[in-house]
Amino acid sequence: MILTLTMSPAVDMFAVTEQFFHDSKTRCQITRHLPGGGGINVARNLRRMGISTTAVFPAGGFHGELLSKLLEEDGQSCLRVSVTHETTQNIVLDEKATGLALHLVFPGARLEKDEWLACQKAIRDFSPQPQLLVISGSLPPSVPDSFFAELVEQCHERNLRVVLDTSGNPLRLALAKGVHLVKLNREDFSALGYDGGESPAERLPALKTMLAEGMADHMVLTLGPNGAMLASRDGLHLHARPPSVEVVSHAGAGDAFVSVMTCKLYQGQPVREAFAYGVAAAAAAISTPGNQLEDMDWLEQVREGTVITEH
């Protein structure tokens, strides 16, 4: 069983317009609402792949109720921590004339101290104990940067492995405690101190150093259209590139990567194969609408075209 935590959940509103106007009204049509937020997206993807999951998140107000309703309709097991302030709504707006999309993401709702402490307690007290905790998404501005680091320490006390996908100072502090798997993007990597070249060969020594410092068992660095790198404490160093795909929506691509790689590791697949599937999942996700990875046949096709090299 896998538990996920989303501290900045949202309702994702998808809409479409014929054309963006910068000096007058842009009239839009709402197409759908979906549950959103990193851990929630991961939980839904994992459940679709046959993994038992529960999504833990704080939620309040009208959008908090809507988020809970959408998850209930989806059949997703969840543990909601009720909070005072209104849950965020994010917007994905497609322009028909150009095929371009705007993905407007807002900060997570303000949480009071007793509310974010309740989120930590929900993870600590969850029973039966899960095999993995996936922490995905940003922290609301009102929550201390040390929140995830404190939670990782609490997980170590319970021998609960952590998969981490966040950014900024909360990422840096959590990595100081050591996690099982972390997914970084290029901005995260730079924020951790990297200022070297852009090739995988140039980046690899810095990843090795971070592994030696105990930041993670496995570190993934995504490279945009150039795929991703993997460095593991056991000496595995890989670069994977997916085939070219038509970009439809970037919403949920990183979550798809984390979902599928976590799923394959949980199922006992080799790290190499789990990583390759993660890279393929991100490419499959950006080539389909919405924030979920739903077409598993397409995922398999993209995986077949994903090329892996060792470093």
Q: In the chain, how long is the greatest CA-to-CA distance? A: 57
What does the angle CA 80 – CA 92 – CA 52 come to, to the nearest 5 degrees?
35
- Distance between CA atoms of residues 119 and 1, nearest Å: 19
Give the separation between CA 106 and CA 152, rounded to whole angstroms: 25
Residue 137 CB neighbour total at 10 angstroms? 27
| Residue 146: alpha-carbon gap to chain centroid | 19
Residue-level length of the chain: 311
Question: Which of 12, 94, 165, 255 is the catalytic position?
Answer: 255
Please state, as a whole number, how many other Cβ atoms lie within 10 Å of the Cβ of residue 190.
12
> Among 31, 16, 27, which residue's Cα sits nearest to residue 102?
16
Beta carbons of 111 and 120 less than 8 angstroms apart: no
Q: Is 255 an active-site residue?
A: yes
- Which of 153, 147, 83, 139 has the alpha carbon at shortest distance from 112? 83
**Residues classed as catalytic:** 255
